[in-house]
Amino acid sequence: MSMLSGGKAAHDLFVYGSLQEPEVVNALLNRVPDRVSAVLSGFHRFRLKGRFYPTILPDGTGEVTGKVLKGITDDELKMLDEFEDVEYDRKAVEVVLTDTSEKLPVETYVWKNKDDPDLYGEWDFEEWKRHDKEGFVTATKKFLEDRRLPEAKTRIDTFKTFFKQDSEDGKPLGS
């Protein structure tokens, strides 16, 4: 953690799923922080049945590619924690920067339930961008609108409502 001007803490956060997408980050933070490519060793990135985002868990042997968002403020980190909701724990890890091979201590979001029966396979960012990005960005904006209401929904509830599958075409509502 470093310091920003004015004495505010700056965090480096490794992201490996939808938060790699600048449109999602911009919707949440009203800016896109500096980003660098990185690899997290000893973890596996899973798909989640019925979800449009991945998760990671330690596996000792795998590698997860992603981005490090640099200079995240305390307030931005609170927003990202709220967005990631109760399903994840923010943990300290070490990544290797792709361009320089420099090791960097960062934080990342790790799935709480290592025995979750909905974990499977490998999540693919490029596939997500082709098939789910547009709906995900829209659902993220809906989450931000809803959180201003007195009866605000969690991100999980907002996304469950938004991504209810239409049995005829299999697409998220609103797409």
Indicate the SS3 state at residue 84.
Answer: helix
CATH code given to domain 2-123: 3.10.490.10
- Model pTM score: 0.84
- Residue 41's pLDDT band, with cuts at 50, 70 and 90, is very high
Q: Residues 23, 76, 82, 84: which is the catalytic one?
A: 84
**pLDDT tens track for 115-139:** 999 999 999 999 999 999 999 999 9
**Residues counted in the chain:** 175
Active site residue 84: yes
pLDDT greater than 70 at residue 141 = yes
Helix axes 22-29, 74-84, angle to 10 degrees: 110
